[in-house]
Structure 1
Amino acid sequence: MLLRSFFRWTAPLLVAAVSFHASAQSTLRIGFQKSASLLTLQKSTGSLEKKLAPLGVAVKWVEFPAGPQLLEGLNVGAVDVGFVGEAPPIFAQAAGASFVYIGFDPAAPEAEAIVVPKDSPIKSVAELKGKKVALNKGSNVHYLIVKALEKQGLKFSDIQPVYLPPADARAAFERGAVDAWVIWDPFLSAVEKQSGARLLQDGRGIVNNYAYYLAERGYAQSQPKVIQALFEDTQAQAAYLKGNIKAAAAVIAPLQGLSTEVVELALTRYQFGVKPLTPAVAAEQQKIADTFHALGLIPKPIRVADALPGAAKLADAK
C-alpha cells in the first residue's frame, strides 16, 4: 500500500493521479483524531469552513482512531493534512510515506502518562519490569515508555508491550489484562476521573510531547494559501480556547463522548497554538528517530530533514 502511494505521487502523468489531484483542489481534507480537542472545536463551530470560503475551498473532516492510521491515510491519498503526535511521522517516514512537516504545537509533557489501576501494587516505573504494558504502537506514548524505562536503567525489552488502540487498551486495563497503560489526553484524564487510575509517570522531565501538522508534499507545495488560512484559524481558535476553557470544554465534551470535567482537565494540559517548525524542534524529532532505530523499532535510519518542506527543492538543486 505504501509503495503504491509512493509511485502514484512520483508519476504525476498518470491519468488517475492527475484526476485525483484536480478534484482535491477545491476541498481541504483534514485527518483528525477525536482526541484532538482543538480540531474538534474547529469542526464543531465551522470556523475553518468560514475561513476558507473566500478561497472557494470546502472542508472534509476524516476521523482516525490514532496517529499511525492517520499517517497511512495521508500516505494513500485519503487526506491532505493531518495532526498527530511525535512518533507516527517517524514510523511513516521509515516506511517510505510521502509527507512534510508544516507546523507544530508547543510541548505538552503532562498530556501523556503511564497509569496503573488504583489498587495496583506497582509504585514506580522500575517496577514495570516483566509486566504487561498497553500502548498504541507507533504513537507518541511509544517514545514516552522507552524514555521512562531508560531513566530507570531499563530497556524496552524489559517489559511486555501489548499493542492496542485506545478503546481496546482501556478495556484491557480495566479488566486487569495488562498491568499498566501508556496513554494521552483526553483518554488519560478520562481513565483518571472515571476509574481512579493512578498516574505513575507523565512526560515531565522525560519527553516534550510535541504534536505536528503534516501535509502531503504536493499539497503543501501547491496550496500555501489554504495552509496559511488553516493556521490562521487554528491560532484564532487556540486563543479562544485558552481564554475560555470551560466554554470550550462544554462544546467539545459531547463530541468526544466525555464529561465536561474530563475534557476541562485534558485542556489544561495542552499548550495550543500552531507554530512554524524550528530547527530545534526538528532536532528533537531526529532524536526520537535515532532512538527508535537504535531499538530496532524502525528498520533503517531516517533524516527528519528529508521530510521538511524545503527538502525536495534542496535535493533538486544538487
Structure 2
Amino acid sequence: MSASSSILSRRTALALLAATASGLAGAQSGGKPDTVRIGYQKSSTLIVVLKTQGTLEKLLAPLGTKVTWHEFTSGLPLLEALNLGNVDVSADVADTVPVFAQAAGANLTFVAQEAPSPSAQAIVVRADSPLKTVADLKGKKIGFAKAAGAHYLLIAALEKAGLSFKDIEPAYLSPADGRAAFERGAIDAWVVWDPFLAAVQRQSSVRVLADGRDVASYQRYYLAATPYAQARADVLRVLFAELQKAGAWVKAQPKEAAALLAPVWGLDAATVEQANSRRSYEVRAVVPGSLAEQQRIADAFLSEKLLPRRVNTLDVALFKPGA
C-alpha cells in the first residue's frame, strides 16, 4: 500500500469513528438518545423562533432531553449531515432537498410540512438588465443553491418557457455567495428564497422575472433520521406542536415576529416582515397524498440527469403526531 493510500485509509477510518461517536453522543446507557441535535438554516423561520425563545429547552428538559443547534448554509448540506448521523432532526428544507437525500440512500422520516409558499422564492435580475422574460435566460449564467427549492423553480420556469436546464450555464452558489456574485455582475440572474429574496429586493435595484406561482408550489419539510424518530417520538410530538404554535404566532403577530427575528438574521424588521408575508407557516402532518409534487420534482431532476437514480418519493417513513 502506498503512503498516500495509507493516509487516506487512516483518514477514512478516523472519519467513520468520528461519525459513530457523533451518532452515539446523545445516547443514554439504555440506548435512548438524551440529546436532540437540530440542524437549521437562516431561512428556518419557525425553528429560529423556537431557538431564540428557548422553547424546546424548557419543554424537553422534563423528558430528559437536551437540545443542541447546528447551522447550515442551505438544505442540501443539512440533509447530508442528517444522513451521516451528525444531526438528528432537520429544520425545514425546500421540497427538492429530500429528493437528493433519498437518492443518496438516506433513511428519512418526514416529521411535518409547511403548506405551499410559491411567491417566497423567485428568479431576479438587476433592474437595468436587458433580460425581460424567462426565455431570455437562454445561454445566460444563473446562480442558485444546488438542490434548493430555487433549483427546481429554475427547471420548472425554463420548461414553461420552452427551454431546458442545458440551455443555461448554472453557477452553484450559497445564498451569501450568490448575492455577492449577483451584485458584482458575475451572474446574469439569481434564483433565491426568502429572507434573502426580500433582502435583495429592499437593498438593491432588482426585477423579478418569475416566482413559483403556477410552476413550483414550494413546500418545506421538517425531517428526522428514522432511528431517532423511532427512539424519540415523544420529542418529535413536542416539536410538531410547537412548530404549529410558532407558525400561527408569526402570521398573527407579524411585527412582533419581525422584531424578534431581525437581529438574529441581521436584517431590518421591515425586510423580515416582507419575507414572512410570503411564507404560509402552516405546519401540518405529512400524508402520502401531499407528496405528489415531490415525485414530479424527482422526475424533473432525473430527466435533467441531476439525480443518479430514480427515486420513489413515497419510500419514506411518515411521522404521525397524534399516534
Give the unaligned 5+ runs of structure 1.
9-14, 311-318
Within a 5 Å distance, the mapping from 1:133-212 to structure 2 comes to: 133-212=142-221
AA aligned to 1:284 is E
- Which residue of 30, 34, 55 maps to 2:42? 34
- What's the Cα RMSD here? 1.9
Task: Give the Cα–Cα distance (whole angstroms) in 2 for the partners of residues 19 and 246 of structure 1.
Answer: 41
Give the distance between the partners of 1:121 and 1:259, measured in 2 at CA: 30
- For the Cα contact (< 8 Å) 1:217–1:309, is it kept in 2? no
Task: Give CA-to-partner distance per residue, 1:121-155, whole Å, 9 cap, x none.
Answer: 11110100101100101111111000000001110
Q: What's 2:88 paired with?
A: 80
Q: Quick one: structure 1 residues 33 and 130, their matched pair in 2 at CA, closer, same or farther if it must change by over 3 Å?
A: same
| Paired position in structure 1 for 2:317 | 308
Q: How does 1:7-46 map to 2 (within 5 A)?
A: 19-20=24-25, 22-23=27-28, 25-46=33-54
Is 1:57 paired with 2:52? no
TM-score by length of 1: 0.90
Q: Which residue of 1 aligns with 2:120?
A: 111
Contact persistence 2:26–2:34 (CA under 8 A)? no
C-alpha separation in 1, matches of 2:23 and 2:202: 50
Which residue does 2:6 correspond to in 1? Answer: none
Deviation digits for residues 231-263 of structure 1 (CA, Å, limit 9, x no counterpart): 111111111111111111011011111111110
Partner of 2:4: none
| Identical-residue share of aligned pairs (%) | 48
Out of 62-71 and 15-24, give the one that drifted further: 15-24
Deviation at 1:223, TM superposition (A): 0.9
Secondary structure in structure 2 of the residue aligned to 1:63: strand
278, 283, 291: which is aligned to 2:292? 283
CA pair 59-21 structure 1, distance change in 2 beyond 3 A = closer
Q: Per the alignment, do residues 50 and 16 of structure 1 end up closer, same or farther by CA in structure 2, a change over 3 Å counting?
A: closer
How many residues in Structure 1 have an aligned counterpart in Structure 2?
300
Query: Aligned ranges for residues 120-139 of structure 1 at < 5 Å?
Result: 120-139=129-148
* Cα shift at 1:16: 5.4
Q: Which runs of 4+ in 1 moved over 6 A?
A: none
Equivalent position SS for 1:306: coil
* TM-score relative to the length of structure 2: 0.89
Q: 1:90 pairs with 99, 105, 109, which one? A: 99
For structure 1, which segment, 179-188 or 90-99, has the greater mean C-alpha deviation from structure 2 after superposition?
A: 90-99
8 Å Cα contact 2:111-2:240 kept in structure 1: no
- Structure 2: 5+ residue runs without aligned partners? 1-11
1:36-77, CA deviations, whole angstroms, 9 ceiling, x for partnerless residues? 121111111111222212212121111000001101111111
Partner residue of 2:262 out of 240, 253, 257:
253
